[in-house]
Amino acid sequence: MGQVLHGSATTTEAIRRAIQNSEESLRALSKRYGVNQKTIAKWKRRTSLADLPTGPKDPHSTILSLEEEAVIVAFRRHTLLPLDDCLYALQPTIPHLTRSSLHRCLQRHGISRLPEVKGDKEPKKKFKSYPIGYFHVDIAEVQTAEGKLYLFVAIDRTSKFAFAELYAKAGKMNAAQFLRNLIAAVPYTIHTILTDNGIQFTNRACDQNAFQHIFDRVCEEYEIEHRLTKVKHPWTNGQVERMNRTIKEATVKRFHYDDHAQLKKHLADFIDAYNFGRRLKTLKGLTPYEFICKRWTSEPDRFIIDPIHQMPGLNTLKALSGSLHYFVLLDGLPLSLWRSRVEPGP
């Protein structure tokens, strides 16, 4: 590997080594290597061959205050969010924050690279692009002090709009009801649903003579194509499984719930915060709701209702959309507790 020298270097490591080992005078060495005598004297005094670091000994930002840097560092260490997600979350509170100034701040504090988590990295595969209305659906089990619940989750692979509900049982009737509720909640036409091969969504292979599955009947009623993942290929539905994990990490894995009502309330708040307040890199910095409104202007034929006026919760959430307060809710931590951790002391 070649040497890495700064742009103004007049000597190589070999010349520096020769200078340090030579008994000749400064004048003779200066003439031999064609450099200033001060340079010869400098390398005579040095014990190493490497260039010393340049620049200020205590680097600091000319854009960010110490208090703002403290908030950025604490937020990054607590959430472990990627660079762009940190930027989207912090910009409403620190308007002059840019991507480059955020990156330099994280570099100064030695937290510009997130720790690698073994077994958590899946090979990235480019999704085939579809118009909005292609939903991935899955079920996960969650617990409160009151007992077990089943979390039904749906996410649009294009708009990233998410919908979730809790049920006492994971049967096919509840799956069909969840689908009806999803159709009612989405302001545009759903054209495709992707599920696994669970009995909640489709008949077993051995039930060839059984009546049509109720989930398929609902799909047929609304002219929705029902697709199934390949058997023993759970990663085919990985997008909704990742959403399941995101929801669990913000709720049941972080908080204790005395009863089902507490979890249902927190889940509803989280889903609203995600849809209306979380800016996503995959949507080029838009929230799912903003992306849907943008598609409404370019593809109105795909919509059943105007999302600008009909989306649930808009009046309540509009004032908070995109704010840091909202993003704290996305991370699952109460705002008062988060503030106590990140605000610099006196």
The reply to whether 77 and 169 lie within a common domain is no
Round the CA-based radius of gyration of the chain to a whole number and report it: 29
Q: What does the pLDDT read at residue 149?
A: 96
pLDDT band at 142 (very low <50, low <70, confident <90, very high): very high
Q: What does the pLDDT read at residue 346?
A: 45
C-alpha 153/C-alpha 242 separation (Å) is: 11
The number of distinct structural domains making up the chain is 3
The reply to whether 192 and 292 lie within a common domain is yes
The reply to whether 73 and 209 lie within a common domain is no
Q: CA of 262: how far to CAs of 4, 36, 57, 77, 141, in Å? A: 59, 75, 51, 28, 16
The reply to whether 40 and 140 lie within a common domain is no
The reply to whether 37 and 155 lie within a common domain is no
Q: What is the mean pLDDT of residues 229-248?
A: 80
Q: Residue 36: which domain range?
A: 13-45
The reply to whether 241 falls in a domain is yes
The reply to whether 119 falls in a domain is no
The reply to whether 107 and 140 lie within a common domain is no
DSSP characters for 217-283?
HHHHHTT-EEEEPPTT-GGGGHHHHHHHHHHHHHTTTT---SSHHHHHHHHHHHHHHHHHH--BGGG
Query: Which pLDDT tens digit goes with each residue over 165-219?
Result: 999 999 999 999 999 999 999 999 999 999 998 899 998 776 666 788 999 999 9
The reply to whether 182 and 299 lie within a common domain is yes
The reply to whether 170 and 30 lie within a common domain is no
Contact of 19 with 35, CB cutoff 8 Å: no
pLDDT > 90? residue 88: no
pLDDT > 50? residue 339: no
The reply to whether 2 falls in a domain is no
- Specify the long-range contacts of residues 10-18, CB closer than 8 Å, at least 24 apart: 10/35, 10/36, 10/39, 11/35, 11/39, 11/43, 13/49, 16/43, 16/46, 16/49, 17/49
